Amino acid sequence: MQTAIAQDASEQMHGASRALLRHGHARVRLDAGTADALREVFDAADDFFARQPGEKRRFERADILEGYRALGAEHSGPLDRPDLNETFSLVLRNMARKDIEPWAATNPLHRALRAAAPRYAALVDAILDGLRSSINPQGDRVASADFSYFQLNYYRPKNERRDFLQDVHEDGHLLTVVTSRQPGLEAQLGGRFEAVNFARDEVLVMPGSILTLMTGGRIRPLPHRVRNVRNVATRASLMYFANASVTRPPRAWVAAADGSLPDIGRANVEASKLFGLPSIEALAR
């Protein structure tokens, strides 16, 4: 029975890889354990973001991309139009750090993200491996867990006047696995922007610009934005940003049009600086 379940999961991930190749995005149903872990994250997020600013700032470690960031730290479009959300991040590589470990005892959101991390890493690595075996079976395996991170974005649409809480952009990662309990996400599907809404156990897998480099342009980044749906009081979305390793980057699976092999580790570092945050290189120290 166990084997049958494992086989189902692996077939499902291959389905996701095929969908990425064919349609440029994939919708995936989470297994029951991951869906439970996700529910805990969203429940803990509602509690955490309702806390006083000083309380939230106790969990701020911008230097290593970990924990809380107040509104205005990040921008998807121009510098003078910050994303209108607060954020809480967990970097998988930081889970081994002794100075972050105590957060698990005092911060249920951090604890819930920690519990979800290995599940998401396994899901993403299975999808990436499905892509590798379709595109270049001899290509490097991509272990995404090290430099990947969760980002929980928390919005208060009712308080905002802008039509878009996040302007249109492409993510500078291999893949982004996103879900939300509330409306607002729009993605460019079939040439026009469409609202993307989710079942409680469902995620959308969106390619980022680094996957385009890995695949010699075969898979394009998926442009997306967040609309202000004004009757929504609070909106939480959870992203898992899958990054290539910076210390041991994979070789691109397919060469670029000019025959060159892009430096995936360097490209991931440069892309990480585009939205106002510290470089993911900081995590390698």
Of residues 143-182, those binding Fe ion (CB under 5 A): 171
We find the least distance from the C-beta atom of residue 275 to Fe ion, in angstroms, to be 8
Nearer to Fe ion by Cβ, of 86 and 171: the residue is 171
Residue nearest to Fe ion (CB): 171
Nearer to Fe ion by Cβ, of 17 and 166: the residue is 166
We find the least distance from the C-beta atom of residue 270 to Fe ion, in angstroms, to be 17
Q: What is the 3-state secondary structure (H, E, C) of the chain?
A: CHHHHHHHHHHHHHHHHHHHHHHCCEEEECCHHHHHHHHHHHHHHHHHHCCCHHHHHCCEEHHHCEEEECCCCCCCCCCCCCCCCEEEEEEHHHHHCCCCCCHHHHCHHHHHHHHHHHHHHHHHHHHHHHHHHHHCCCCCCCCCCCCCEEEEEEECHHHCCCCEEEEEECCCCCEEEEEECCCCEEEEECCEEEECCCCCCEEEEEECHHHHHHECCCCCCCCEEEECCCCCCCEEEEEEEECCCCCCCCCCCECCCCCCCCCHHHHHHHHHCCCCCCCHHHHHC
Nearer to Fe ion by Cβ, of 121 and 175: the residue is 175
We find the least distance from the C-beta atom of residue 169 to Fe ion, in angstroms, to be 6
Instruction: Report d(CA 178, CA 196) in Å as an integer.
Output: 10
We find the least distance from the C-beta atom of residue 149 to Fe ion, in angstroms, to be 13
Nearer to Fe ion by Cβ, of 171 and 186: the residue is 171
Of residues 28-67, those binding Fe ion (CB under 5 A): none
The C-alpha angle with vertex 122 and arms to 108 and 152, in degrees rounded to 5, equals 35
Instruction: Report d(CA 99, CA 214) in Å as an integer.
Output: 34
Nearer to Fe ion by Cβ, of 107 and 153: the residue is 153
Nearer to Fe ion by Cβ, of 60 and 74: the residue is 74
Nearer to Fe ion by Cβ, of 107 and 151: the residue is 151
We find the least distance from the C-beta atom of residue 165 to Fe ion, in angstroms, to be 12
We find the least distance from the C-beta atom of residue 263 to Fe ion, in angstroms, to be 23
Instruction: Report d(CA 11, CA 89) in Å as an integer.
Output: 30
We find the least distance from the C-beta atom of residue 200 to Fe ion, in angstroms, to be 21
Kindly determine how many residues on this chain lie close enough to bind Fe ion according to the rule CB under 5 A. Answer: 1
Nearer to Fe ion by Cβ, of 125 and 171: the residue is 171
We find the least distance from the C-beta atom of residue 125 to Fe ion, in angstroms, to be 21
Instruction: Report d(CA 216, CA 73) in Å as an integer.
Output: 32
Q: Which residues bind Fe ion (CB under 5 A)?
A: 171
